[in-house]
Every structure is written in structure tokens, then in C-alpha cells.
């Protein structure tokens, strides 16, 4: 319990006793303006509104009857019914000493942990990953880590697009070319070209379209030769994905393609028909719900083929039935909102017991403000983006660190480039569309990963110079405003992580870490550590610097950004 939480507990016990009908809060939040205090509550205003009482009177009672924890100043009443609180430097120092001993840095696990499936990334077989995949991959990865840190059991799933109609066109062109060997180095590029060829041919020639359909049907009914081709496509694609995920350091617990559910699809549709959830309309099988949309949700085409939604229903059921998920979180582009409303609505009618969430993010747009699409335009390949990130980082490193050469230069460039990319992608709120520019995604100045990493490096450098291996535990003494402000800020870490997890919005954590780094830089200017005026102060500042470093590393780690000891 650190600072806010201590005060929260006191205030809650008072509000529970005096105003039980208002719920349990939380009531205490940090002051936006430090002149008012460190923390504030506007509880009296809410209580007055609900009970018809007088806000200032309630504020007075709260201030007088509910004393803050020891070491806090007397609460002050302000405005129409705010109560402001201020912790003394001693109380702050004690809080930091406790936080320093807490291996979780103030992150409190859920009281009721859940098994949560996070479904993210989901690239398509036989296609290169491109910028359109980056947000789902990074957001899903971070959410999985956030939810796990909050005490849940998390299952990360990559739901690969390995069974769509694109395989008919791909097989058509591939087989027409005599099923050539796919080279190790650029198998994906070859596959993309075959697909493009098959697509063009079948779009311009109805007979070819029929052939493509036949290829797909043959594959789906288990023709051995086509099955074998398809397996090669999958294997080669997996190699490509593995390399990207290795560089991004993203992992999955399960990689299950859509093909996994192929056999279950007829049963799903029959089930829904039998339960009168679905009906036949114009030869197709559909689910209706006018409150969602006039148009129905299609789960079987009139030619008998199944769709995206059918596969998703089967996958959803499997996650509940086989993985015992309480909650499934789908991380995709916002354009799929309607699809997921239909999916969740149908799943509930189907009596699938669970909580389903669509965590969506804005579309990545090209410079023309139109979505970057994979078929028209030129989507930037993820490999190229990662390489460019590394190159730009290397240029800056060569300026700042001319002593670096060889492998250590390569390694640092890779780390810094990808760190910047990851941070830039996660820093804006997730429901904004964003226009893709190299400059924005690969910035190294201002609110960026290098700024935060530099603060971390400074914390490590101080400890190194002091001859200390691991961050120490010393009593905390706070003299300067900069160190007190930093200390109070560090104690908000747990609250911010909880907020980011609950909201499924990691950008809160980005903002917090940026502020933390800024406060540390200010502390660094204002408070000499190694040359501190007294040994007690030196020890205190060493401890504070160590703890700041630990929290920066922990927070960046949640965002999937590794730290480095020097840069």
C-alpha cells in the first residue's frame, strides 16, 4: 500500500460508514494541479447530489472525522466540496521504502483471476506480414502481458488465416506453373506472385474462376496432392512469421489456423439451425437480429461453403470448451466491429458461457489518408519496416557512439530501432486512425523510447560508478522537490498498470513512463547522487535511482521493450 492506496482505504472506511449507498469508490485521485495538494477527492459533491445534502458540510465532516494516515498533513477543504490531501516528505519516504521491497512495484493482482484468451496478430498464410499487422501484434502482446501481470491466466493465440478462398487462386497459378520448388530465401514473395497471377486470371476469365473454385473444393475435400502443396505453403509462411516474431520478441501459446476448425463447421451450422438461432434465407444460412443490422449475419453461403463468421464461432466454442476460457479478447482493426457484434450476439444465443470483447484499433492510413490495403497500393512490408528502423538507429548511433563497431553496433541498432517502433505504435490511443509515415514511426526525439531508455541508462550508470551491482535498499531521505516529486510519482505505477489493463489501453503506461523518465532527468540535474552532501542522502538517492530504473525496466518490459545497460 503506497500513499494513494493508504489514503483511499481510510476514506473508504469513512464513506462506507456514512454514505454506504454511494458504493466503494475509488474516491482518491492525484491532483491535476499540485498547488491544491497531492491527492484530492470530490466525494462530497457526489454525496451531496445523491442525498440532497450540502457539499461543503459533508467535506467538513470528512476532513474532520476521517484523519489521513500518520505523517499526512491536515486535509484542506476547497471549492464547492473538494478535500485536498498532502503527504509530508516523511510519509513519502516511508512509502518508497515499502515500494522498494515490493517485487511487483505496487501492481496488485486481481482478486478474481480469470482464464483469458487473447487472439491477436493473425496473419494470412502465403502473404508477407505488412504494417497492417503491427498494431494487432504489439497491442495483443502488451495486453497479454498486462493481464498476466494483473494475476490472470492468459492464453495467447495466433489465429492464422490458412483456409480462405485465396488458396483456390493460389493453387491454380502454382499448379499451372508446374508446382515449382519454393526457394528458402523468398518463398513468400514467390507465393504472393502466384496469388497475384491467379487472382488476375480468375478475375478476367470466368472459366479460370471456376477452376480456382474447383481447386479450393479439392483442397478442402482432402485431395492429397493439393493438401501437400498447402502444407508447404504453411510451412514456408511459418518460417517467415517466426523470423518477424523473433525480431519483435512476440510469442504465442497456440498457433491454430482456421483450418483447425474445418471439420466442425457443418456441425456448427446444423446446431444453430436446430436451435432456431439461424434460418435459411435465399439458399444461405443466416442469423438475424434487427437491433444489430438490417442485413443478417451469414454463416453458410448458398453454395454450401462456410465463412469467416462460421470459423470464428467454432473457434470461440473450442476456446471455451477445450481451453476453459472465461473471457476472449479479439484484437483487430476497428473495421471489424460489426462482425464481432454479430459473432458475440450469436455466441450468446448459442449459450456459449463467457465474456467476449473486441479490442479494436484505428486503421493505418497511407499518405493519401486512405487505408493501406494489401491488394491495391503498396503496403509496406514488416521486414522492410524493421530493417529501416534498425538503419535509422544505426545512423544515430554512429554519430553519438563512434567507438561502437561490429556486432555490438548491430545489436544496439536493432534494439533501439525496434524499441522506437514499438513505442511509437503504442503511444497514441488505440482507437485513432493513424497516417503512416516513416518519420513518425521511427522518431528518436521527444516522447520516444530512446528518451525513456536514456533515463534508464543513467540510473544504471550511476550505480555502476558507485560500484554497486544491484539496486540497494537504504533509508529514504527527501530534501529537494525534484526527488520528492519523483518519489510520489513512482508510487502511482501500480494504479497506472491497473488502469491500462482494465481499459485495455497501454498508452496510459507509455505516458506514465515518459513522465517518469522526465522526472528522473530533472532529479538528475537537481540532485547530485555520487557527490551528495551527506552519506545518508547519497544512499537515499542511490536507492531512488535504482528503484526508478527498476520501474522503468518493468514498465517498458510490459510494453515489450527491452532495456540496455548503456547506449
Taking the C-alpha atoms of 529, 533, 534 and 539 in order, what is their torsion angle to the nearest 10 degrees? Answer: -10
Secondary element (H or E) of residue 281: strand 278-281
| Residue 566 makes contact with RNA by CB under 7 A | yes
**Which position has the grid cell 512469421?**
241
User: Shortest approach of RNA to residue 205 CB, angstroms?
Assistant: 17
User: Shortest approach of RNA to residue 537 CB, angstroms?
Assistant: 11
Q: Of the listed pieces 185-193, 194-202, 468-476, 523-531, which binds RNA according to CB under 7 A?
A: 523-531
User: Shortest approach of RNA to residue 106 CB, angstroms?
Assistant: 14
Interface pick for RNA out of 151, 366, 371, 481 (rule CB under 7 A): 371
What is the full DSSP assignment across 114-168? -EEEEE---PBTTS--BGGGHHHHHHHHHHHHHHHHTT-EEEEEE--B-SSTHHH
| Residue 295 makes contact with RNA by CB under 7 A | yes
User: Shortest approach of RNA to residue 81 CB, angstroms?
Assistant: 7
Interface pick for RNA out of 11, 212, 250, 298 (rule CB under 7 A): 298
Q: Which residues pair with 327 in a beta bridge?
A: 116, 355
What is the full DSSP assignment across 315-366? HHHHHHHTT--SEEEEEEEGGGHHHHHHHHHHHHHTT--SEEEEEEEPPEE-
Q: What residues from 145 to 164 belong to the interface with RNA (CB under 7 A)?
A: 161, 163-164
User: Shortest approach of RNA to residue 444 CB, angstroms?
Assistant: 5
CA 458 from chain center: how many Å?
27
User: Shortest approach of RNA to residue 178 CB, angstroms?
Assistant: 27
| Residue 503 makes contact with RNA by CB under 7 A | yes
* CA-angle at 195, arms to 192 and 200, nearest 5°: 125
Nearer to RNA, 353 or 566 (CB): 566
| Residue 232 makes contact with RNA by CB under 7 A | no
| Residue 8 makes contact with RNA by CB under 7 A | no
Q: Which residues pair with 361 in a beta bridge?
A: 333
262: nearest Cα among 173, 167, 153, 163: 163
Distance, in Å, from the CA atom of 151 to the CA atom of 146, rounded to the nearest integer, reads: 9
| Residue 427 makes contact with RNA by CB under 7 A | yes
Q: Taking every pair of C-alpha atoms in the chain, what is the biggest distance, in angstroms?
A: 87
C-alpha cell at 97: 521504502
User: Shortest approach of RNA to residue 324 CB, angstroms?
Assistant: 26
Taking the C-alpha atoms of 422, 425, 429 and 430 in order, what is their torsion angle to the nearest 10 degrees? Answer: -100
Interface pick for RNA out of 22, 78, 108, 273 (rule CB under 7 A): 78
Interface mask toward RNA for 269-288; x: CB under 7 A: ------------xxxx-x--
> HSE-up of 68 (CA within 13 Å, CB side)?
24
Nearer to RNA, 293 or 353 (CB): 293
β 278-281/284-287 pair status = antiparallel
| Residue 534 makes contact with RNA by CB under 7 A | no
Distance, in Å, from the CA atom of 549 to the CA atom of 555, rounded to the nearest integer, reads: 10
| Residue 457 makes contact with RNA by CB under 7 A | yes
| Residue 398 makes contact with RNA by CB under 7 A | no
| Residue 555 makes contact with RNA by CB under 7 A | no
User: Shortest approach of RNA to residue 219 CB, angstroms?
Assistant: 13
Interface pick for RNA out of 181, 322, 469, 525 (rule CB under 7 A): 525
| Residue 294 makes contact with RNA by CB under 7 A | yes
User: Shortest approach of RNA to residue 180 CB, angstroms?
Assistant: 25
Q: What residues from 299 to 318 belong to the interface with RNA (CB under 7 A)?
A: 301-303, 305, 307-308, 311
| Residue 336 makes contact with RNA by CB under 7 A | yes
Secondary structure in 3-state letters for 288-329: CCCCCCCCCEEEECCCCCECHHHHHHHHHHHHHHCCCCCEEE
Interface pick for RNA out of 108, 499, 536, 553 (rule CB under 7 A): 499
Q: What residues from 99 to 138 belong to the interface with RNA (CB under 7 A)?
A: 124
| Residue 429 makes contact with RNA by CB under 7 A | yes
Amino acid at each position: 500500500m503506497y500513499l494513494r492506496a493508504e489514503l483511499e482505504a481510510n476514506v473508504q472506511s469513512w464513506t462506507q460508514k456514512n454514505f454506504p449507498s454511494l458504493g466503494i469508490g475509488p474516491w482518491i485521485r492525484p491532483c491535476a494541479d499540485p498547488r491544491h495538494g497531492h491527492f484530492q477527492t470530490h466525494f462530497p459533491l457526489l454525496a451531496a447530489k445523491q442525498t440532497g445534502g450540502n457539499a461543503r458540510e459533508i467535506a467538513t465532516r470528512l476532513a474532520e472525522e476521517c484523519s489521513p494516515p500518520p505523517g499526512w498533513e491536515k486535509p484542506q477543504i476547497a471549492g464547492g466540496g473538494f478535500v485536498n490531501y498532502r503527504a509530508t516528505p516523511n510519509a513519502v519516504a516511508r512509502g518508497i521504502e515499502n515500494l522498494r521491497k515490493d517485487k511487483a512495484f505496487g501492481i496488485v493482482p486481481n482478486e478474481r483471476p480469470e482464464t483469458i484468451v487473447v487472439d491477436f496478430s493473425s496473419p494470412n498464410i502465403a502473404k508477407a506480414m505488412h504494417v497492417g499487422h503491427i498494431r494487432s501484434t504489439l497491442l495483443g502482446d502488451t495486453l497479454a502481458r498486462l493481464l498476466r501481470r494483473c494475476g490472470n491466466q492468459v492464453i495467447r493465440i495466433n489465429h492464422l488465416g490458412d483456409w480462405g478462398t485465396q488458396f483456390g487462386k493460389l493453387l491454380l497459378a502454382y499448379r499451372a506453373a508446374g508446382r515449382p520448388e519454393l526457394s528458402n530465401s523468398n518463398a513468400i514473395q514467390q507465393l504472393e506472385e502466384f496469388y497475384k497471377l491467379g487472382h488476375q486470371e480468375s478475375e478476367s476469365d470466368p472459366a479460370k474462376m471456376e477452376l480456382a473454385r474447383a481447386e479450393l473444393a479439392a483442397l478442402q475435400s482432402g485431395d492429397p496432392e493439393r493438401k501437400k502443396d498447402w502444407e508447404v505453403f504453411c510451412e514456408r509462411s511459418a518460417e517467415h512469421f517466426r523470423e518477424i516474431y523473433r525480431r519483435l520478441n512476440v510469442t504465442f501459446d497456440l498457433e491454430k489456423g482456421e483450418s483447425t476448425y474445418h471439420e466442425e463447421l457443418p456441425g456448427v451450422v446444423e446446431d444453430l439451425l436446430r436451435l432456431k438461432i439461424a434460418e435459411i434465407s435465399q439458399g444461405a444460412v443466416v442469423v438475424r437480429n434487427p437491433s444489430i443490422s438490417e442485413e443478417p449475419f451469414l454463416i453458410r453461403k448458398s453454395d454450401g461453403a462456410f465463412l469467416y463468421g462460421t470459423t470464428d464461432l467454432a473457434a470461440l466454442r473450442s476456446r471455451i470448451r477445450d481451453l476453459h476460457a472465461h473471457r476472449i479478447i479479439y484484437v483487430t482493426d476497428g473495421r471489424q466491429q460489426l462482425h464481432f457484434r454479430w459473432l458475440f450476439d450469436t455466441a450468446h444465443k448459442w449459450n456459449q458461457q463467457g465474456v467476449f470483447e473486441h479490442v479494436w484499433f484505428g486503421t493505418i492510413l497511407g499518405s493519401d489518408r486512405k487505408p493501406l490495403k494489401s491488394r491495391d497500393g503498396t503496403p509496406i512490408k514488416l521486414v522492410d519496416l524493421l530493417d529501416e528502423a534498425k538503419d535509422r538507429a544505426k545512423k544515430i548511433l554512429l554519430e553519438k557512439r563512434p567507438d561502437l563497431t561490429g556486432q555490438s553496433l548491430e545489436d544496439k541498432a536493432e534494439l533501439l530501432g525496434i524499441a522506437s517502433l514499438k513505442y511509437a505504435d503504442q503511444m497514441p490511443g488505440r482507437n485513432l486512425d493513424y497516417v503512416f509515415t516513416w518519420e513518425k514511426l521511427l522518431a528518436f526525439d521527444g516522447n520516444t523510447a530512446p528518451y525513456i531508455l536514456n533515463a534508464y541508462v543513467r540510473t544504471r550508470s550511476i550505480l555502476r560508478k558507485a560500484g554497486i551491482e544491484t539496486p540497494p535498499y537504504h533509508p529514504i531521505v527527501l530534501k529537494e522537490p525534484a526527488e520528492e516529486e519523483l518519489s510520489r510519482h513512482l508510487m502511482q505505477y501500480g494504479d497506472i498498470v491497473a488502469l491500462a489493463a482494465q481499459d485495455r489501453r497501454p498508452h496510459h503506461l507509455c505516458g506514465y513512463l515518459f513522465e517518469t523518465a522526465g522526472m528522473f532527468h530533472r532529479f538528475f540535474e537537481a540532485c547530485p547522487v555520487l557527490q551528495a552532501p551527506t552519506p545518508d542522502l547519497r544512499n537515499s538517492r542511490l536507492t531512488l535511482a535504482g528503484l526508478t530504473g527498476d520501474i522503468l525496466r518493468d514498465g517498458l518490459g510490459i510494453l515489450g521493450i527491452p532495456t540496455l545497460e548503456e547506449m
